[in-house]
């Protein structure tokens, strides 16, 4: 149960004070009865709250798939650079945040939400959520690299990286690859290739768990997750 003014405010109908003024106009009903008291308790799952006869659907959480461009940082605020949140313009809640981070010069899939529990699960090292990247590499990527990535790479930490799946899409002086990792170490993809004597010159995340980046979602744009995608995130079992 939550207060009616909180319900209405969280659904984008204004600040608490603005909502209280709205309630005084007797345009809001709860289960078809006019309610003007802001402290009235409602159950978002069972009570029908309407404004001028139109039902207000309560959304506790929002989930957006964002195709991050270069030049913005994966943060809610930054004193120097623009943030990924600057692109999310029509969210209802004001407490959204990016799940994890992509470097400022990295593009691609980023989940934006206000669901802290889900974010924790997706980022937990014990969950091993798979993340796939497309990259262009300065240098020829070979079968030896595939074997090394599968065995684990020494990137200067206590342990080798976990086994990663490297797929060569194009090999040459500039190679194109897809790499799937199950960790999220700082600059991990770049450091893995540097350890092999090569340099990442372009990096884009194309999937995270069940979420896939599609060609119709242009760089710098976003969309709400489908119910199927949200359910798949909640049901993910990466411990096996």
Does domain 131-208 correspond to CATH entry 3.90.950.10? no
Query: How many Cβ atoms are within 10 Å of 79's Cβ, its own excluded?
Result: 4
Say which CATH topology domain 2-55 has: 3.10.290
Query: How many Cβ atoms are within 10 Å of 120's Cβ, its own excluded?
Result: 11
Boundaries of CATH 3.30.70.580 in the chain? 63-125+211-235
Compute the half-sphere exposure of residue 34: CA atoms within 13 Å on the CB side of its CA: 8
CB 178 within 8 A of CB 134: yes
**In this predicted structure, what is the pLDDT of residue 30?**
96
Catalytic residue among 103, 105, 144, 154: 103
CA separation for the pair 118, 114 (Å, rounded):
9
Instruction: Give whole-number Cα distances, 236 to 58, 63, 108, 240, in Å.
Output: 25, 16, 21, 10
CA separation for the pair 38, 95 (Å, rounded):
22
**In this predicted structure, what is the pLDDT of residue 94?**
85
CB 224 within 8 A of CB 96: no
**In this predicted structure, what is the pLDDT of residue 92?**
85
**In this predicted structure, what is the pLDDT of residue 231?**
92
Boundaries of CATH 3.10.290.10 in the chain? 2-55
Helix/strand/coil for 113: strand
CATH of domain 63-125+211-235: 3.30.70.580
**In this predicted structure, what is the pLDDT of residue 93?**
86
Task: Note down pLDDT in tens along the chain; length 240 residues.
Answer: 999 999 998 888 888 899 999 999 999 999 999 999 999 999 998 999 999 999 998 888 999 999 999 999 999 999 999 999 999 998 888 899 999 999 999 999 999 999 999 999 999 988 889 999 999 999 999 999 999 999 999 999 999 999 999 999 999 999 999 999 999 899 999 999 999 999 999 999 999 999 999 999 999 999 999 999 999 998 874 443
Q: What are the tokens at 195?
A: 């350890």
**Could you tell me the pTM of the whole model?**
0.85
16 CB-near residues (< 8 Å, 6+ apart): 5, 6, 9, 38
Any catalytic annotation for residue 103? yes
**In this predicted structure, what is the pLDDT of residue 183?**
94
Query: How many Cβ atoms are within 10 Å of 218's Cβ, its own excluded?
Result: 9
- DSSP H/E element including 156: none
Quick one: DSSP state of residue 188? H
Q: What are the tokens at 136?
A: 């262009």
β partners of residue 176? 136, 170
**In this predicted structure, what is the pLDDT of residue 160?**
97
State the alpha helices, DSSP H only, in the chain: 4-10, 16-24, 116-123, 143-151, 188-195, 227-235
CA separation for the pair 32, 227 (Å, rounded):
28
């Amino acid at each position: 149960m939550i207060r009616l003014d909180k319900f209405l405010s969280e659904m984008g109908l204004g600040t608490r004070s603005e909502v209280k003024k709205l309630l005084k106009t007797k345009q809001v009903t709860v289960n078809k009865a006019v309610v003007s008291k802001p402290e009235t308790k409602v159950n978002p799952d069972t009570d029908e709250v309407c404004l001028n006869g139109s039902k207000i659907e309560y959304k506790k959480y929002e989930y957006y798939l964002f195709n991050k461009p270069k030049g913005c940082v994966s943060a809610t605020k930054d004193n120097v650079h623009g943030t990924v949140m600057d692109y999310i313009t029509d969210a209802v809640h004001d407490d959204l945040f990016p799940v994890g981070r992509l470097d400022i010069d990295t593009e691609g899939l980023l989940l934006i939400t206000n669901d802290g529990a889900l974010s924790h699960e997706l980022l937990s090292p014990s969950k091993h959520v798979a993340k796939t990247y497309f990259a262009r590499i300065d240098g020829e990527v070979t079968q030896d690299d595939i074997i090394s990535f599968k065995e684990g790479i020494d990137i200067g930490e206590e342990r080798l990286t976990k086994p990663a799946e490297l797929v060569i899409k194009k090999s040459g002086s500039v190679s194109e690859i897809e790499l799937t990792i199950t960790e999220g170490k700082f600059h991990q993809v770049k450091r893995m290739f540097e350890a092999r004597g090569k340099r990442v010159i372009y990096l884009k995340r194309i999937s995270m768990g069940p979420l896939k980046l599609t060609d119709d979602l242009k760089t710098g744009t976003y969309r709400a997750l489908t119910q199927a995608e949200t359910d798949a995130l909640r049901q993910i079992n990466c411990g096996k």
